[in-house]
Amino acid sequence: MSRQRKQIPGVDPKLLIKDAAKLLPEPSRRLFLRGAVSLGAVAMLTDCDIVDGPTSENALRVISNFNDWVQARLFSKTTLAPEYPESAITRPFPFNAYYTEDEAPDVDGETYKLEIGGLVDNKKPWTLPELNKLPEVSQITRHVCVEGWSAIGSWQGVRLSDFLKMIGADTTAKYVWFQCAEGYSNTIDMPTALHPQTQLTLKFDHKTLPVAYGFPIKIRIPTKLGFKNPKYVTAMWVQNNDAGGYWENQGYNWFSGL
């Protein structure tokens, strides 16, 4: 960190870094650079060479991994997310994605099948009528977005832990991975998958899940940030390797527990 760098006369190190940033191939390599430069005052205070983008970025990722570990330990399988009365439901409940509402995937419910894979005994795909016959659980909980806003919604569906047991999933596996119709994906830890409030959601406010909220299936996880609640789910895999996810791969914290 505290390695000294010789200044070249006539060269503004900040501009040099800007130019270097342009050369970096992936956009993700550039994510934190400008912020690091704005920390110039701090760098002077500490005599640390933190203006070095990739170095600070790697350090931040290491700490983020440590934070995953901390959060997994803070997570309690018996602590429930607070539930609210019907009157507290946010209406209209917001649509949120990295695309606009009219770009949301239009999945055909008639032909839809939920694919099952990985460390599971019964890999038979599930149609919507079959899923709708399973015992229903309901929750009115707060959806907390990584951006900071939150909204209270009402979700009904199958308790994921019941479903995993029914299909003979190896619940000693580490992860459950979800693939979505528009290419989104998510990996969650098994303890969260087995949490009593984690739900394979088929309805919003007791009505078939609208397209905006993830038709035909959303995975509702009130113990995780919104982006860890995949919509338009088409496949579910039980596995021991972390397959990452759409936002996690871009730098958002992996565990993102609430």
Partner 1 sequence: MSTEAATAAAPALPEAAEPVAPVIHPLWVRVTHWINALAMLMMIGSGWQIYDASPLFGFTFPRQIALGEWLAGALLWHFAAMWLLVINGIVYISLGILTGRFRRKLFPIRPREVVNDFTAALRGKLSHEDLSVYNAVQKLLYAGVLLAGIVIVLSGVSIWKPVQFWWLTAFFGGYNTARYVHFAAMTAIVTFLTIHVVLAIIVPKSLRAMIIGL
Asked if residue 141 lies in contact with residue 81, where contact means CB atoms within 8 angstroms, the answer is: yes
Nearer to partner 1, 81 or 137 (CB): 81
DSSP for 80-144?
PPP---GGG--SSPPP-SSS-GGGS----TTT-EEEEEESBS----EEHHHHHTSPPEEEEEEEE
Nearer to partner 1, 113 or 142 (CB): 142
Report, in Å, the least distance between residue 258 CB and partner 1: 4
Report the C-alpha gap between 236 and 187 in whole angstroms: 10
Nearer to partner 1, 15 or 63 (CB): 63
Binding site for partner 1 (CB under 8 A): 30-35, 38-39, 41-42, 45-46, 59-61, 63-64, 67, 74-76, 79-82, 142, 144-150, 222-223, 247, 250-253, 257-258
Report the C-alpha gap between 216 and 210 in whole angstroms: 8
Report, in Å, the least distance between residue 52 CB and partner 1: 15
Report, in Å, the least distance between residue 61 CB and partner 1: 7
Asked if residue 157 lies in contact with residue 163, where contact means CB atoms within 8 angstroms, the answer is: no
Nearer to partner 1, 187 or 223 (CB): 223
Q: Which helix (H) or strand (E) holds 190?
A: helix 190-193
Report, in Å, the least distance between residue 232 CB and partner 1: 22
